[in-house]
Structure 1
Amino acid sequence: MAQPTTLVATSLVALGGGTGAVLRYHLGRAVGALFPTAALAFPYATLTANVVGSLCMGLLAGWLARYGSAEAEGWRLLLGVGLLGGFTTFSSFSLEVMLLWERGAPGLAALYAIVSVAAGVAGLFLGLIVMRMAA
């Protein structure tokens, strides 16, 4: 199969992105329902979305590197660009760092930023390692 047409590629990204955004929304609701006071004090839902999304991106990248071909481009667009792009929340992350800082909690803002980036990168590496070991 050749590369997807622009219309097909756009549709795959839109379908994945919409699904990822809906999943992110429900993750935020679930975290808020499970930990109502903790969710107000620290952005756990965003942190979780970014770490889980990074882990999944590592798994996907590892799978595509091992097994991917021209036919896998549709999966990359649907899952990587769309679903995981819609699910992870680095724009929300940036806003939450700034809000923590403005609320007078620069230490917590710095901690959140460091943990988010370090855990996200670690999740991606872990996903790649898992996929490489599975081969």
Structure 2
Amino acid sequence: MATTWPRPDAVALVAAGGAVGTLVRYGVAASVDPVDGLPVGILGVNLLGAFLLGVLTATVASSRTRLLLGTGLMGGFTTYSAFALDTQGLLADGRPADALVYLLATVAGGFAASVGGLAVGRALRVRGAR
């Protein structure tokens, strides 16, 4: 089966959104100090990103807007790699309980945030249809 590459305009939308999302994440992470060594800035970014992606999924029909805001902006804003590295850092510092709390808060919290975002998005969509 032949591989088809994305169209250049789609790549540009994802790249533009990703650049902005990455810069915003960097700004948040640089300005929010850890609390008792827990990386709450990255936790907040990932939870907010999961929520906003849920809202976008439920409200945005345009594939181009989804590429820009969902794949690009939210993809650049949220970060699995920092989450994984921060969890490993807590373990390396001899803080397994904190690592577990951070891991559960990120995974379960992200799931709950995305479900909440979908619910809010659906409510907004229904409200807008009236």
TM class by smaller structure: 0.7 to 0.9
In the aligned structure 2, how far is the partner of 1:123 from the partner of 1:78? 21
Counterpart CA distance in 2 for 1:96 and 1:107 is 13
SS of corresponding position for 1:41: coil
Match of 1:129 among 101, 119, 124: 119
Match of 1:19 in 2: 20
TM-score (norm 2): 0.88
How much identity, in percent, do the aligned residues show?
Answer: 37
The residue type paired with residue 37 of structure 2 is A
Over residues 69-95 of structure 1, what are the superposed CA-to-partner deviations in whole Å (9 max), with x where a residue is unaligned? xxx111111011100000001110001
Which deviates further from its counterpart, 81-90 or 23-32? 23-32
Partner in structure 1 of residue 3 of structure 2: none
**Hey, what does 2:29 align to over in structure 1?**
28
1:29-87 superposed Cα distances (whole Å, 9 cap, x missing partner): 2213xxxx62x6110111000000000000001113xxx1xxx1111110111000000
Q: Is 2:43 the partner of 1:43?
A: no
- Report the equivalent of 1:63: 59
| Corresponding letter in the other structure for 1:63 | T
Aligned AA (1:77): L
Q: Secondary structure at the match of 1:104?
A: coil
Task: Give structure 1 stretches of 5+ with no counterpart.
Answer: none
Cα separation, 2, equivalents of 1:73 and 1:49: 24
Cα RMSD of the aligned pairs, angstroms, is 1.3
Q: What does residue 91 of structure 2 align with?
A: 101
Residue type matched to 1:48 in 2? G
Between Structure 1 and Structure 2, how many residues are aligned? 120
Distance in 2 (CA, whole Å) between partners of 1:133 and 1:78 is: 23
Match 2:81 to one of 78, 91, 107: 91
Secondary structure at the counterpart of residue 94 of structure 2? coil
Partners in 2 of 1:52 and 1:76 — Cα distance? 17
Instruction: Show the counterpart of 1:52.
Output: 48
Q: Between Structure 1 and Structure 2, which shows a larger proportion of helix residues?
A: 1
What's the TM-score, normalizing by structure 1?
Answer: 0.85
AA of the residue aligned to 1:62? A
